[in-house]
Amino acid sequence: MRIGELAARTGASVRSLRYYEQQGLLTSTRSAGGQRTYTESEVERVGFIQRMFAAGLTSRTIAELLPCVDSPGRETSDAAEERMLRERDRLTRHIAELIRTRDSLDELIAVNRAHRASLTAAAS
């Protein structure tokens, strides 16, 4: 299939697919006219890549995990699990930071509301 069909079937933009290929996450063959062509298995691969990006992983990390997808085995599984655990820890730290930021924002909102209430009371 050509890149436009892969994009339509996966919901990924053509630009994203080109980026995935540039980063070594996706491969294509070239037709005689130089157009990219993809196999049916690339549909599932693009879905996997999209889920990994949605989970906050970088293209570099995804590239490190793909050998486990491509050639499952003890060595690649161990390395992938170690990498995924590191990413999970990073996400956990990021979530904690976001919670602290949200809590600070909640405090500012409360102060703002109290201030607005005092202005309204003073004007009455």
Name the pTM for this structure. Answer: 0.69
Bridge pairing between strands 29-30 and 36-37: antiparallel
Mean pLDDT of the chain: 91
The tens digit of pLDDT for each residue in 75-120 reads: 777 878 888 899 899 889 999 999 999 999 999 999 999 999 999 9
* Contact assessment for residue 6 and residue 12, using Cβ atoms and an 8 Å cutoff: yes
Domains and CATH numbers, the chain: 3-70 (1.10.1660.10)
DSSP bridge partners of 43: none
pLDDT tens digit string along 48-81?
999 999 988 899 989 988 887 777 777 777 878 8
For residue 7, what pLDDT band results from cuts at 50, 70 and 90? very high
Sequence-ordered alpha helix ranges (H) in the chain:
3-10, 14-22, 41-54, 59-70, 74-123
